[in-house]
Structure 1
Amino acid sequence: MTASLTDEKARASAWFRTLRDDIVAAFERLEDTQTTGPFADQPAGRFEVTETKRSSDDGSDAGGGLMSVMRGGRVFEKVGVNISTVYGTLGERAQNAMAARKGLPGMKDDPRFWAAGISLVAHMQNPHAPAVHMNTRMFWTPHAWWFGGGSDLNPCIEYEEDTRAFHAVQKEHCDRHDPNYYPKFKDWADEYFYIPHRHRARGVGGIFYDDHCTGDWEADFAFTQDVGRAFLPAFVGRVEKRRNMPWTEADKDAQLVHRGLYAEYNLVYDRGTKFGLETGHDANAVLMSLPPMAKWV
C-alpha cells in the first residue's frame, strides 16, 4: 500500500492551478494584442469561469474544479483551460481499466482514488494558426501513484518550421530530467495520437506519457512541472507567427475537416474523455475539447 501523500497531493493540485492562471493570462494578452485582421474590431476575448463538481453515487463530496472557456475571441475561436481535483471510489469499469494498466489487483478490495490535473485545448480563428492540446495530471490510489500528460500540436495547415520549433521546446524541457525522455515520449505521442480508422495521426505530435512513477515523487513532480512550463514557449510563438496570415475559404474548409478528425479521436480513443465520463465528472468540462464547428466530407 502506498503512503497517503497528503502534502504532495496539495502541492500538485496547487501547481495545476498556478499553471492554469499563467496560461489564462497569456492567452488573454494574445487577445489584447490582436489589433489587425477580421476580428480586431470586436472585444478581446475573455475566459468565462465556471465551478465544476464531480457527482458521487452516495451524494458525498467528490471534488471538482474550474472550467475556463473563451469563445469567439479575436485569436481563439474556442479555448478551454480546465483544472480539477477529484476523489472518491472508482466504479467497476474504471477499476478494471486501472488494474489492466497498472497491474493493481487490489483495486477490487480498495477502489479509492484521488486525481488532479489541468487540461487544455485551443481551436483558433485563423486556419494557419495551429490547434493545440496539453494536459498534466497526478493520480493516486492506495496501491500506487503516478503522473501523466503531454502536449501536442494539431495544425490543419502544416508548417515544418512550426513542428520543429514546438518539438524543440519539448525536447529542451525533457532533457533537463533525462535525455531518454524526449525520444521515448515523442514515440509514445506518435502512437497514442494516431487514429486507426483514418490511418493517420491527429496532428504533428509532441510528447505523451502516462503511468509515470520512477519511485521518486519529487523528481517525477519536477518533470511534470517542466512539461507544463514548456507549453507557453512552445505554442505562443507559433500563434504570433501565424495569426495575421490571410486565409481563403478553402483554408477554412480544411480547418473544419481537420476539426472533425480531432473530434473523432477525442470521442472514440482519448483516455481522459473516457475516464472523466466514467467517473462522474462534469460532462461539459470533460467535453470542453470539442471544437465549436467542424465538418465531415
Structure 2
Amino acid sequence: MTDTDFNERKARASDWFRNLRDEIVAAFETLEANHASGPFSDEPPGRFEVTPTTRRSDDGSDAGGGVMSVLRGGRVFEKVGVNVSTVYGTLGAAAQKAMAARGVPGIELDPSFWASGISLVAHMRNPQVPAVHMNTRMFWTPHAWWFGGGSDLNPALEYAEDTAHFHAVQKTFLDPHGTQLYPELKAWADEYFFIPHRNRARGVGGIFMDDRNTGDWEADFALVQDIGRAFLPAFVPLVERRRGAEFTEADRDTQLVHRGLYAEYNLVHDRGTKFGLATGHDANAVLMSLPPLAKWV
C-alpha cells in the first residue's frame, strides 16, 4: 500500500474519532440539560470546557495534539472527559522495547509512528450511576498498523440489570463482525482490567482489544467504528435509569473508595496512561481519567 493510500486512511480514522467525540459531548450535555428531578436537579447543568492539547518531541518541535473536553461539577457528571488526539514522531527506546515485546514488526528498523484516537472517562455525581470508560484508536508505523480499544463499566453500586444491558449492547454491535468476537473481547477485557495487587476486577467488564490487524484495514476500521457506536446506547440508558435515584452517605463513601481503585489501576497498570506520559503528550490530557475525589480505607 502506498503512503498516499495510508495518509487517506489516517485522515478517515482521525475524522471518525473527532466526529464520535462531538456526538458524545452533545449527548452528555443533553443528559445534563434534561436532568429534571432527583438529586442535584436544581443545580445549573454542566457544560464542557474545551482546551487544545499538544505533544512535543524530544527536540521541542510540534508532534501533533488534539482537544481535551472536560465537564466538571455538573448535575449528572461530577467529572467527565472526552479527549481526541492525533500525534506523531519517533518512539523512544522504552516504547520501542514494549512494542517489540508485543510482536509489532519493524520497530527496530524505523521507530516513526502516527496515532489517533478518542478516550473517555466519566465519573458520576450520583453513586447509583456507574462510572464508565471508552477508547478507540489507530496506530501506524512504517512496517505495521493496528486498531485497539473498547469500553467497560465501573459501578460503585452494582445492579445486575445494568451490567446485562451494557454487555448485551456490546454483543449486538460486535456480532455482525463475527459471533466469536464478543466472547473473545469480553475475556480480553476481564483480563486487561484486572488489578493484581487487589486480586479483583476494576469493574464489571466490557470489551477490549489491542493490536487488531487482520490484514483487512477496512474490516478492522469498521469493527472499531462499531465499538465506538455501541457506547452511547450501552451507557446512556443506565444514566437515565439511575440519575434521579436517592442515595445515602454510605453510598457516597462506597463510590469514593471505588474511585480509589480506579485511580490505582490507571496509574499503575493502564497501558495508555504509560504510553501517553512516556511519549510527551499533554500530561493533563493523559491524566484526565483520574477522578476529582477519591479515598482509600
Code of the residue aligned with 2:259 in structure 1: it is: R
RMSD: 0.9
Contact 2:39–2:246 (Cα < 8 Å) also in 1: no
Identity among equivalent pairs (%): 75
Instruction: Give the structure 2 partner of residue 193 of structure 1.
Output: 193
Q: Which residue of 2 aligns with 1:296?
A: 296
Q: Summarize the alignment of residues 216-295 of structure 1 with structure 2, pairs less than 5 Å apart.
A: 216-295=216-295
Q: Match for residue 171 of structure 2?
A: 171
Partners of 1:45 and 1:71 within 8 A in 2: yes
- Residue equivalent to 2:63: 62
Give the structure 1 partner of residue 111 of structure 2.
Answer: 111
Question: Following TM superposition, by how much is the alpha carbon of 1:3 offset from its aligned partner in structure 2, in angstroms?
Answer: 4.6
TM-score computed with the length of structure 1 as normaliser: 0.98
Q: Partner amino acid for 1:214?
A: T
Deviation at 1:60, TM superposition (A): 2.2
Q: Does 1:47 align with 2:48?
A: yes
- Deviation string 1:128-161 (CA, Å, 9 cap, x unpaired) is 1000000000000011000000000000000000
Matches within 5 A, 1:82-161: 82-104=83-105, 106-161=106-161
Q: Distance in 2 between matches of 1:140 and 1:249?
A: 47
Q: Separation in 1 of the partners of 2:178 and 2:123?
A: 32
* Mapped partners of 1:36, 1:293: distance in 2: 24
Which residue identity lines up with residue 60 of structure 2 in the other structure?
G
Q: State how 1:20-35 maps to structure 2 within 5 Å.
A: 20-35=21-36
Secondary structure of 2:145's counterpart equals: strand
Look up the equivalent residue of 2:232 and give its one-letter code.
L
Paired residues of 1:102 and 1:211 also in contact (CA < 8 A)? no
* Partners of 1:3 and 1:142 within 8 A in 2: no
Structure 2: distance between partners of 1:219 and 1:108: 28
In 2, distance between residues paired with 1:20 and 1:56?
A: 25
Answer yes or no: is the 8 Å Cα contact 1:136–1:150 preserved in 2. Answer: yes
> Within 5 Å, which residues of 2 pair with 1:65-84?
65-84=66-85
Residues 64-99 of structure 1 show CA distances to partners (whole Å, capped at 9, x for unaligned) of 000000000000000000000000000000111111
Q: Which amino acid aligns with 2:44?
A: P
1:121 is paired with a residue of what secondary structure? strand
Please say if residues 146 and 213 of structure 1, whose CA atoms lie closer than 8 Å, have aligned partners that are also in contact.
yes
* Equivalent position amino acid for 2:65 in 1: G
Aligned length: 295
AA aligned opposite 1:197: H
Q: For structure 2, which runs of at least 5 residues remain unmatched after alignment?
A: none
Compute the TM-score of the two structures, normalised by the length of structure 2: 0.98
Q: Does the CA-based 8 Å contact 1:113-1:140 persist in structure 2?
A: yes
Alpha-carbon separation, structure 2, partners of 1:109 and 1:215: 21
Q: Deviations over 1:149-204 (max 9, x none)?
A: 00000000000000000000000111011111100000000000000000100000
Q: Distance in 2 between matches of 1:294 and 1:36?
A: 26
**Distance in 2 between residues matched to 1:3 and 1:184, nearest whole Å:** 32
In structure 2, what is the Cα distance between the partners aligned to 1:3 and 1:132? 38
Looking at structure 1, the residues matched to 39 and 208 of structure 2 have their Cα atoms a distance apart, in angstroms, of: 35
DSSP 3-state at the match of 1:66: strand
Contact 1:189 1:206 in 2 (8 A): yes
Residue aligned with 1:42, SS = coil
Distance, in Å, in 2 between the alignment partners of 1:80 and 1:167 is 22
